Amino acid sequence: MDPLLLKVLNGVRTPETPVWFMRQAGRFLPEYREIRKQYAFDQVLNDPQLSKKVTLQPIQRFPKLDGAIIFSDILIVLNALGCNVSFEHGSPSIGRTLDQISLNDPVDYSHFDTVQAALKSTRLDLPSHVTLIGFAGAPWTLFAYACDGSNKNGWKKAKELLTQKPLEAEAWLSKISRVTRDLLLLQIASGAQVVQLFDSWAGDLSNDEYLSWALPYAEKTLKDLKVPRIYFPKMQEIPVQLQSFDCEALSISWESSLLLARSRFSTKILQGNLDPKVLLGDENELDKHVQAIMESMKNHGHIFNLGHGILPQTNPKAIQRILDMVKS
């Protein structure tokens, strides 16, 4: 029998709401920080057994979780293109930006070996009620990192490339879409039962820019994949054009209204969208927010999640509290 999260993504109506958390395999967990005392981030990222261990940490601590997101990073696609990403100083730094590499450089698919091996091995040891989630970054979000390295200048170089050399931008976005799609196909072949595409910087584009430079490439990346697809356009106002986006579920940002999404995207399963900052505050406030979300999604396909990743300073007790409420 399919696990709950997969069932809901396949359109089955269930009395119970599935729940998982973006960035659940990471820095808010003391047991992850213990591992990081011994190993650098790159080492965990390049070792299937360590990646598996970190993937399973939240599952072991919180048996009520319905999803396990594989430990990896969206930026491995840029490494395959030749960008030489390093994580040495906490935030990623891009060794070679897009202007320093060539469209004709061969793609080095060996950067995808670890995530494949980690998925295969994790799937063998995952409790059968938990769904294994693969993921990648959406083309615009990866392109923005590849051009600028970080958003401290508002993706200046990325936006200049879009406006000044649109043909070149299009060629890069197409190449990134192809490689990201290949990564997702490999993840699915290795045991990912669901995939999520993170468009974390979608909200840094205007509506028109998003429709020209983000949406079409995200669509290309996810088209015809054989497992349920969750798309996360992290933006305040999600354009109506997403009604015809070929995916099973939309993940809604905390800055956006779940009720509005429900009326606008009535045929989509919706995921989200608790504000990660609410987990840092008062427990009664947290309860109210969780209840409001559950209430607003009654009788609509819903996956409980945050509206962006768990903040590193989150107390694991807040996660347990949410799980107890959603599952009560």
- Residue of 74, 130, 173, 227 that binds ligand CP3 (CB under 6 A): 74
3-class SS of residue 198: strand
DSSP 205: S
- Residue of 7, 23, 157, 289 that binds ligand CP3 (CB under 6 A): 23
Q: Which amino acid is at 123?
A: R
Report d(CA 262, CA 152) in Å as an integer: 33
What's the min distance (Å) between Cβ of 220 and ligand CP3? Answer: 19
How many residues touch ligand CP3 under the rule CB under 6 A: the total is 22
What's the min distance (Å) between Cβ of 21 and ligand CP3? Answer: 7
- Considering beta carbons, is residue 133 or 293 the nearer one to ligand CP3? 133
Report d(CA 215, CA 297) in Å as an integer: 25
- Residue of 187, 200, 271, 314 that binds ligand CP3 (CB under 6 A): 200
- Considering beta carbons, is residue 43 or 266 the nearer one to ligand CP3? 43
- Residue of 71, 112, 217, 265 that binds ligand CP3 (CB under 6 A): 71
User: Any long-range contacts for 255-259 (C-beta under 8 Å, 24+ apart)?
Assistant: 255/203, 255/307, 256/307, 258/293, 258/296, 258/297, 259/296
Candidates 16-24, 102-110, 157-165, 271-279 — which segment interacts with ligand CP3 by CB under 6 A?
Answer: 16-24
What's the min distance (Å) between Cβ of 209 and ligand CP3? Answer: 19
Report d(CA 154, CA 79) in Å as an integer: 22
- Residue of 2, 7, 10, 27 that binds ligand CP3 (CB under 6 A): 27
Would you please indicate which residues are annotated as catalytic (active-site) residues? Answer: 23, 27, 36, 73, 145
Whether the bond into 10 is cis, omega within 30 of 0: no
Instruction: Give residue 277's region: left, alpha or beta (phi > 0; psi -120 to 50).
Output: alpha
Chain mean position to CA 161: 25
* 272 contributes a contact to ligand CP3 by CB under 6 A: no
Report d(CA 143, CA 212) in Å as an integer: 14
- Residue of 7, 87, 97, 316 that binds ligand CP3 (CB under 6 A): 87
Residues that bind ligand CP3 (CB under 6 A): 22-27, 36, 41, 69, 71-75, 87, 90-92, 135, 198, 200, 309
